[in-house]
Amino acid sequence: MKDLVIVGLSGGVDSAVSAALLLESGYRVEALHMVNWESDDAYCTRVEDEAAAAAVARHLGIVLHRANFAPVYRQWVFKDFLDEYRAGRTPNPDILCNRHIKFSAFLNWALRLGAGKIATGHYARVNIGNGQPRLMMAQDRNKDQTYFLHAVRREALAQTLFPLGDLIKSEVRSIARKIGLPNHARPDSTGICFIGERPFRDFLSTYLAEIPGPIETETGQVLGRHRGLHFYTLGQRSGLGIGGRRDAIEAPWYVISKDQSRRALIVAQNPVHPRLMALALQADRIHWIAGAPPVVPTEVSIRIRHRQTPVPAMLDIRNSLIHLEFLNPLRAVAPGQYAVVYRGETCLGGGRIIRVRSVQESTPSPRQRIKMDFP
């Protein structure tokens, strides 16, 4: 019998199949259902999630533990989430949730129970070479979650199993049906980590005050009023409340920038406006899950959002910041999101985007190398 593995059992089909595959491989398996967000509103699925996890544990005949990490989540994830919005950035709490909750609080909890490793239903792979772990893309590129895992501590990665790394989603559903898992048809969650699927602006407004300001064109024409810059992100089309105008063409409006000094939201009707198209970025909060940065400057592949096909970029590191220059302009690169760096299938690490240089700010000829320096 192999070592004890404790699986993070969310109530979803991915973690359930992960537990089943580990049992089939001869591991001693127990499960933990984490409560990381406590709410009694209609959008919180905590009760349903726990019931689904309990049903899976009974079906598989494994012990189900329960732990409440909500205070840790609020301190290390949700507080940063609100701080980022207050600063006018667009955060990604799933990345900090993985670092501080799933691969820290959960891992420590499991180790105290005597587990040799933990496992989750993430779509990713770990390759151990020379005794060191490498975070690798999943076989199912459409479901690959290495973007969300790049900030996990390397030591935690070495103590983690990803049973779904070599499977595609349809195979996972097929396994769940074949072995009769009670949640085999349960839909995937698409909401923010542990907050759920809800009207996001209404949720955010319960924590952040409205700070209204003008909605303007880039020439200064006022089109309306917004509720607060933190409720909008670059490239956003819906929810602007502008509607059709006699003095404009019949086309959607898009957020192209934010003027923090005047609290102005700048919009245009061009979905690829030069202000929306980025040529380079800077990022802080650098974490190299590969153990060390590559020798720079060097060409890498990057993602600026989950499920994006990695695109080529030039990487440099100066003044403790990542500098990335795109070989082709990227649309709607929002400060607060993360730039994640790859070499082939290996995730090297990444950082939080803090500054972006748009096409409008730098217009070299197509053959000219874009200078990395920011003003």
Q: Is residue 14 part of a domain?
A: yes
Q: Judge if 325 and 350 occupy the same domain.
A: yes
273, two tokens:
């406006």
Decide if 370 is inside a domain. no
Query: pLDDT tens track of the chain, all 375 residues?
Result: 578 999 999 999 999 999 999 999 999 999 999 988 876 665 567 788 899 999 999 999 999 999 999 999 999 999 999 999 999 899 999 999 999 999 999 999 999 999 999 999 999 999 998 889 999 999 999 999 999 999 999 999 999 999 999 999 999 999 999 999 999 988 876 555 556 666 777 788 889 999 999 999 999 999 999 999 999 999 999 889 886 666 667 789 999 999 999 999 999 999 999 999 999 999 999 999 999 999 999 999 999 999 899 999 999 999 999 999 998 999 999 999 999 999 999 999 999 999 999 999 865 544 344 444 665
> Is there a single domain that holds both residue 218 and residue 161?
no
CATH number of the domain at 349, please: 2.40.30.10
Same domain (yes/no): 128, 229: no
Same domain, 289 and 169: no
Active-site entry in 53, 137, 193, 339: 193
Would residue 97 show up in a list of annotated catalytic residues for this protein?
yes
The torsion region of residue 132 among left (phi > 0), alpha (psi -120 to 50) and beta comes to: beta
Helices within 43-165 (DSSP H only): 46-60, 70-73, 79-86, 93-97, 106-112, 146-149, 154-157
The pLDDT, as a whole number, for residue 314 is 98
Q: Based on the domain organization, do 139 and 80 belong to the same domain?
A: yes
For residue 276, how many other CB atoms are within 10 A of its CB?
24
Q: Which position among 16, 97, 138, 157 bears the catalytic label?
A: 97
Contact 293, 343 (CB under 8 A): no
Q: Is the residue at 368 inside a domain?
A: no
Cβ atoms of residues 18 and 10 within 8 Å: no
Same-domain check for residues 8 and 146: yes
- The β-bridge partners of 301 are 312, 342
In a domain, 186, yes or no: no
Instruction: Choose one of 134, 156, 178: the last residue of a domain.
Output: 178
Q: Strand 213-216 to strand 264-268: parallel, antiparallel, or no bridges (unpaired)?
A: parallel
Can you tell me which residue has the tokens 């699986």?
A: 7
Q: Do residues 172 and 25 share a domain?
A: yes
Give the distance from CA 310 to its chain's centroid: 15
Instruction: Let me know whether 118 and 261 are in one domain.
Output: no
Are 105 and 245 members of one domain?
Answer: no
Q: How far apart are CA 293 and CA 300, in angstroms?
A: 11
Domain stop point among 268, 289, 311: 268
Same domain as 162, residue 60: yes
Our count of domains for the chain comes to 3
Contacts of 233 (CB under 8 A, 6+ apart): 90, 255, 332, 334
Two tokens, residue 238: 């819906």
Domain encompassing residue 17: 4-178
What CATH number should be reported for the domain holding residue 116? 3.40.50.620
Q: Is 191 part of any domain? A: no
* Among 228, 194, 236, 175, residue whose Cα is nearest residue 78: 194
Residue 347 known to be catalytic: no
Q: Is residue 187 part of a domain?
A: no
Using the structure block, give the residue that is written with the tokens 């730039």. 339
Same domain, 357 and 246: no
- Pair (249, 290) in one structural domain: no
